[in-house]
Structure formats: C-alpha cells, structure tokens
Chain A
C-alpha cells in the first residue's frame, strides 16, 4: 500500500507559469524525495530533503517539508514544455532499515506551449 497522497492528481498550466504539487504522508520519515517520470520511462531523481530540513532548492525546483503536518510541496518555477511528466514524492520511513521508497500516487503535469 502506498504511503501518501499527492494533490492535485493532474495539473495543466501554460508555459512560463509556476507549478505547485503537494504530497502528504502518514508515518515519520528519514527523508523525502521527489522523482519525475516521463511517459514509458523510469523515474529520475530530482531532489532529496532530509527530515531536519525545511526547504531546499535545485535550479528551478523548490521543495518544502513540514514534518509536523507530514506534508511536502514541490514548486517548479518558469515551467517549460519539457517539464511535462508525472511527479512522485517518495518517503523513506524512519522504521525502515533499508532505503526502500514508499511512493505517492503522483501528479500528472502538463505544460501547454
């Protein structure tokens, strides 16, 4: 069973606009990661935020983490057509010895030219 939920399930915006995706999870975590998946391809790691971090940036990506609310958000600024993909948050639960990932259901992002 999956750890959490992502919101929205689908998002369609114009190129150049910002896209925000949210993720909620259920258990205490070691870290939270965001991945991108293009249609028919594997997942590509975007960014990792540890449980003791609140915000992290990488290029046009900004991730926040609120462990008290068990939620995270991914902001993509100045979106491009190439950003069209599904985005998944994945947690590493604190109880896990191995780094197995527990994924949300994903947000399908469409950037319209």
Chain B
C-alpha cells in the first residue's frame, strides 16, 4: 500500500494483559514516530526511530512501554501489564527524512477494561 498501515485497528484487553501494536511505514521512510492520543486531545509524542535506532524515547509514560524497529522498517509498540489509563489511540507516523511532513496511519484504538 501507499500509506502507513497500523494493525490492529481496534484492540480490547483486560487490565494486566500485554499488548503489541504494529506499524508498517511507507517504504523507504527513514524516520518513524509513535504518538498517543487521548480522547478529545491532540497526539503526544512517545518515541522516535531513525532506521533501526531508537533515538528518542522521552515520551514513553513508563517502563511498561517498549518499542522496537529491528530491521529499520516495521515497528512494534508493546505495552506490558496494561492499565486503564493506557486506553487511547496510538498513532504511527513516518517521514522520508529531515523536516518533511509526517505521514500518519489511522491508528490503533486501545481499550483496557
């Protein structure tokens, strides 16, 4: 596909379960970003990759959140021992390079019961 693809689109999990969210960026895009968007709010930065290197993870809320991009393309955001406050939409964005506009996927809506 031509755009950023995220899966699953919706995820419901019980509190305490682990979840994994996937992002397929646009082919050839060097940079990849994860954002968290609470209901009615703007997205907030979580973490950033340049190729396979995680250069900034300052936005990750706790050590329960972990992201990887082992081959510099697909990325996975993992949340361990989920809590209700983790309920949000998780957005992935990719960029060719530099200061170009970011291309966003449609997000994964995570609901923790």
Contacts and interface: CB of A to CB of B under 8 A. Distances in A.
A42 B4 contact: yes
Interface residues of A, number: 26
Interface in B59-100: 59, 91, 93, 95, 98-100
Contacts of B56: 98, 100
Interface string B29-43: 001010100001111
B105 interface: yes
Contact of A45 (B41, B102, B107): B102
Contact of B44 (A31, A40, A103): A103
Interface string A74-113: 0000000000000010101000011111111110000000
Given A99-B102, A100-B45, A103-B42, 10 more contacts: A2-B41, A35-B104, A42-B104, A43-B43, A48-B99, A99-B31, A100-B33, A101-B45, A101-B102, A105-B42
Nearest 7 Cβ contacts at the A-B interface: A103-B42, A42-B104, A45-B101, A43-B104, A42-B106, A100-B45, A98-B48
Contacts, number: 67
Contacts of B93: 42-43
The size bracket of the interface on B is 20 to 34
B44 to A, nearest CB: 7
A104 B37 CA distance: 11
Contacts of A42: 4, 91, 93, 104-107
B45 A41 contact: no
A48 B101 contact: yes
Nearest to B92: A42
A30 B95 CA distance: 17
27 contacts: A2-B41, A40-B106, A41-B106, A41-B107, A42-B4, A42-B91, A42-B106, A43-B43, A43-B91, A48-B101, A88-B42, A88-B43, A92-B99, A97-B55, A98-B31, A98-B50, A99-B31, A99-B98, A99-B99, A100-B45, A100-B56, A101-B33, A101-B35, A102-B45, A103-B35, A105-B40, A106-B42
